Structure 1
């Protein structure tokens, strides 16, 4: 297990983590600064110079998030656990990527957000600046708008602990007591990461304005089509229908029509494979009203236009959607490789 202590610089995550370590038997504090330092040491200087200009530095890299997860798993093999991670995490897409990867490795997360009144925070940061220099104040000023923007999703996702009038010791006791009540649990259902190429089936569903339905997974960044990995011995179309029923509570009354077959090139750590998109048809108002989400997998659904979808879908999914909509207009499926048609444009 990982006990994640989230919060803006100056709120006391490191001090609370050390106190919590003394309260939770077998626990260890996991400060990922050595992961940061290792990446800084290994990256070429030219690349590192560009990265250090980013708000979170190396922690904005996908490679950092992968290393954080793999290091956590390795540590949990060496210590009784749990790990206490005092790590700032204001970006929901980073939360999804890290927590989802941990879930796929069987590591649950308890998420706690430490907060404090802003006047108290500023006093603490001023005191830190006297000891460690202006870097403390600069970090706080950089993180402040990020945490303000993240307020809504953090309040929904994490258990809040106000440290304004608490010492690190009493804040740690508050976290420990909340854990005993089951607070902070991030229940994510995620299968182990595949070791070889996979076949995945997505289903496009439309409303009466021809907008397409997308879902927001809790276990990976970005939005997605309803669907998932096809099980062994399962027909892809049946896999897509099954996933729609599991994810949305919707049972399609017909087999969906194939729109796109996309061979996704393996680019480590992604294993690649075949990605199929099917046309699930148009949903009526009554069907839309009955849509329901499994909270441990999906947090939201919405109908969007193609241009809106481009801003929500990561990587090749946006190209896949564009060609799937083209195939729907043409009335015939298209074959793609890594999001692009072969043999000339249709």
Structure 2
């Protein structure tokens, strides 16, 4: 699991409160996320799952586009749900009322769902009334992979707290391992 929010929150802690906006607007965040994912994809012999809400086309290019340019085969999936479902899932993450992270997610919910529904963020997977495991299983088939039931079950278990409308990302070859090669893999987000 590689969660880009950790880098974003670290960057926030380095800034005075008045300068703490959306950390995705920081070039340092986008560059750091891309570099860490590149390292993980090159070096880790296993799935790399990345829960990330990335709806700015330019930022998507900065991270996902550059990973593709660097030779990583990336399949992107936008996991969508109705706003009420996402709110229920956000509440299930254990966020305290008023917590800045939680309020950002709630404030951006409608905009993010609208943007993720755009063709630029296809493939779209509806997640309402589905478990994380049910959502995760069809994704490899959509990217041309054989069933990855065992690794995907582990990925689904690890991502259980991630609100599906906000996406998850990963890279798995047809044997369930992380590879730099051009083998089919899984990357959702």
Which band: TM-score by shorter chain? Answer: 0.5 to 0.7
Correspondence for 1:36 among 1, 4, 8: 8
Correspondence for 2:96 among 116, 130, 133: 133
Correspondence list, 1:166-185, <5 A = 166-180=130-144
Relative CO higher for 1 or 2, CA cutoff 8 Å, sep ≥ 6? Answer: 2
Q: Secondary structure of 1:144's match?
A: helix
Distance in 2 (CA, whole Å) between partners of 1:172 and 1:89 is: 19
Correspondence for 1:147 among 71, 87, 112: 112
1:84 aligned to 2:52?
A: no
Structure 2 contact 78–122 (Cα < 8 Å) conserved: yes
Number of residue pairs the alignment of both structures matches: 144
Structure 2 contact 117–124 (Cα < 8 Å) conserved: no
Q: Which structure has greater strand proportion?
A: 1
Q: 1:171 to 1:152 in 2, by over 3 A?
A: closer
Correspondence list, 1:90-129, <5 A = 90-128=55-93
**Structure 1 length as normaliser, TM-score?**
0.37
CA offsets per residue over residues 259-300 of structure 1, 9 Å max, x none? xxxxxxxxxxxxxxxxxxxxxxxxxxxxxxxxxxxxxxxxxx
Correspondence for 1:51 among 19, 23, 27: 19
1:318 equivalent in structure 2:
none
Distance in 1 (CA, whole Å) between partners of 2:145 and 2:85 is: 29
Shift of 1:151: 4.5
Which is greater in Rg?
Answer: 1
Q: Secondary structure of 1:110's match?
A: coil
Q: Which structure has greater helix proportion?
A: 2
**Structure 2 length as normaliser, TM-score?**
0.64
Alpha-carbon RMSD: 2.5
Distance in 2 (CA, whole Å) between partners of 1:33 and 1:111 is: 18
Shift of 1:112: 0.5
CA offsets per residue over residues 179-227 of structure 1, 9 Å max, x none? 2369xxxxxxxxxxxxxxxxxxxxxxxxxxxxxxxxxxxxxxxxxxxxx
